[in-house]
């Protein structure tokens, strides 16, 4: 099935809930529909285009004078199984958390810590979603889709996806050029549970046995207690990435703030918590007009009313500036600003 609209409103397609229109909107539920579209219609090539999944990591600053491509391909299919693993091929349009629940109910591990992350499966590899010690790149076998320039179906084995912290080839070299149509995941029948991060272990123990269901429950409880529900308060999760800096920079901060949270990346670099930096710069819970930083998680920028994309963007610039002035660290946005 395809749906094609002109002057289409995107408010319900972005979790910030900002008003924005796109000149054209093309939604498809089968890869063949997309192929037919790109082969039969040359005019779209002249237009700027943008691939939109669940809209949970995007900020529209104004109307988009181009074409939004929205893959809505459904399906979870078991493609292979052996003694250790089960492989599922999942359509780009499946809701990410429905897939996590499916795996947990099926009894296979690898994505349970990623419970309740908003968005669709097709977007998961793009920013290599992660939470509570798991990253989706650890369970991705391959990513399938269509290269819009060459009009060719292509597949990328995980090793060729350029995965990094909230990063991949799909948001760099292949940005808006490669449309992901499905992802093949390799799940574990005998998973090693990952309880190291933050309160996960404590929460799971409260719930009882260490198993997939309880880890999922714990991740959901922790997320819901800290992060605002997108159905109630517009937001896009973490607005900035956690900055990776040289060890010396972190040491300097530690002299003044002995409690600074620091995560080792390698011998020379550490990751700092952007939420902590924003809090120390005095912006946690601060609200200006319709926009603010969440009271419980300073990394989450919230639309408290009818904020425009421009207002949200400008507010985020002030936060970056404040962190830079206090710590000399330049925050990088995690959210895709259009």
Catalytic residues: 166, 238, 334
Q: Which is nearer to ligand EPU, 22 or 242 (CB)?
A: 242
Can you tell me the distance from the alpha carbon of 219 to that of 311, in angstroms, rounded to the nearest whole number? 32
Count CB-CB contacts under 10 A for residue 206: 12
- The residue range among 40-48, 204-212, 246-254, 291-299 that interacts with ligand EPU, by the rule CB under 6 A, is 291-299
* Residue 228 contacts ligand EPU per CB under 6 A: no
Nearest distance from residue 170's CB to ligand EPU, in Å?
Answer: 16
* Residue 276 contacts ligand EPU per CB under 6 A: yes
Q: Which is nearer to ligand EPU, 8 or 239 (CB)?
A: 239
Strands (E), 127-273: 130-131, 134-135, 140-147, 152-157, 178-188, 234-238, 244-246, 262-264, 269-272
Only one residue has tokens 């990346």, namely 265
Q: Which is nearer to ligand EPU, 142 or 203 (CB)?
A: 203
115, 128, 182, 297: which one binds ligand EPU (CB under 6 A):
297
Q: Which is nearer to ligand EPU, 193 or 197 (CB)?
A: 197
* Residue 111 contacts ligand EPU per CB under 6 A: no
**How many Å separate Cα 219 from the centre of its chain?**
16
Q: Determine whether 220 is exposed, middle or buried from the number of CB atoms within 10 Å of its CB (0-12, 13-18, 19+).
A: middle
**Four-residue CA torsion sign, 242, 245, 249, 255:** positive
* Residue 185 contacts ligand EPU per CB under 6 A: no
* Residue 198 contacts ligand EPU per CB under 6 A: yes
Question: What tokens appear for 28 in the block?
Answer: 């498809």
**Exposure string (b/e) for 68-79, b if CB count within 10 Å is 16 or more?**
bbbbbbeebeee
**Binding residues among 129-168 for ligand EPU as defined by CB under 6 A:** 131-132
* Residue 279 contacts ligand EPU per CB under 6 A: yes
* Residue 243 contacts ligand EPU per CB under 6 A: no
Give the chain's count of helices (H) and strands (E). Answer: 7, 20
* Residue 334 contacts ligand EPU per CB under 6 A: yes
Count CB-CB contacts under 10 A for residue 208: 10
Give the residues lining the site for ligand EPU (CB under 6 A). 131-132, 197-198, 226, 237-238, 241-242, 261, 273, 275-276, 279, 284, 297-299, 334
């Amino acid at each position: 099935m395809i749906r094609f609209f002109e002057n289409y409103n995107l408010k319900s397609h972005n979790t910030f809930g900002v008003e924005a229109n796109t000149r054209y909107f093309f939604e498809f539920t089968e890869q063949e529909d997309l192929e037919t579209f790109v082969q039969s219609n040359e005019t779209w090539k002249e237009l700027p285009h943008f691939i939109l999944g669940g809209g949970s990591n995007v900020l529209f600053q104004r109307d988009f004078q181009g074409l939004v491509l929205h893959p809505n391909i459904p399906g979870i299919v078991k493609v292979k199984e052996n003694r250790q693993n089960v492989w599922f091929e999942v359509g780009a349009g499946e809701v990410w958390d429905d897939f996590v629940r499916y795996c947990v109910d099926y009894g296979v591990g690898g994505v349970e810590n990623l419970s309740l992350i908003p968005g669709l499966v097709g977007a998961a590899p793009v920013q290599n979603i992660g939470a509570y010690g798991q990253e989706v790149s650890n369970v991705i076998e391959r990513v399938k889709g269509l290269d819009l320039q060459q009009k060719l179906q292509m597949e990328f084995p995980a090793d060729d996806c350029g995965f990094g912290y909230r990063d991949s080839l799909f948001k760099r070299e292949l940005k808006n050029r490669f449309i992901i149509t499905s992802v093949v995941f390799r799940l574990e029948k005998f998973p090693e549970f990952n309880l190291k991060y933050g309160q996960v272990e404590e929460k799971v123990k409260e719930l009882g046995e260490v198993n997939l269901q309880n880890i999922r429950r714990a991740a959901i409880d922790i997320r819901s207690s800290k992060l605002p529900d997108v159905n109630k308060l517009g937001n896009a999760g973490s607005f900035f990435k956690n900055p990776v800096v040289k060890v010396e920079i972190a040491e300097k901060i530690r002299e003044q703030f002995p409690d600074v949270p620091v995560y080792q990346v390698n011998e020379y670099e550490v990751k700092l918590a952007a939420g902590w930096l924003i809090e120390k710069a005095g912006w946690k819970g601060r609200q200006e007009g319709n926009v603010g930083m969440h009271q419980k998680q300073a990394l989450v920028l919230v639309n408290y009313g009818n904020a425009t994309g421009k207002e949200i963007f400008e507010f985020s610039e002030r936060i970056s500036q404040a962190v830079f002035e206090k710590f000399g660290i330049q925050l990088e946005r995690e959210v895709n600003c259009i």
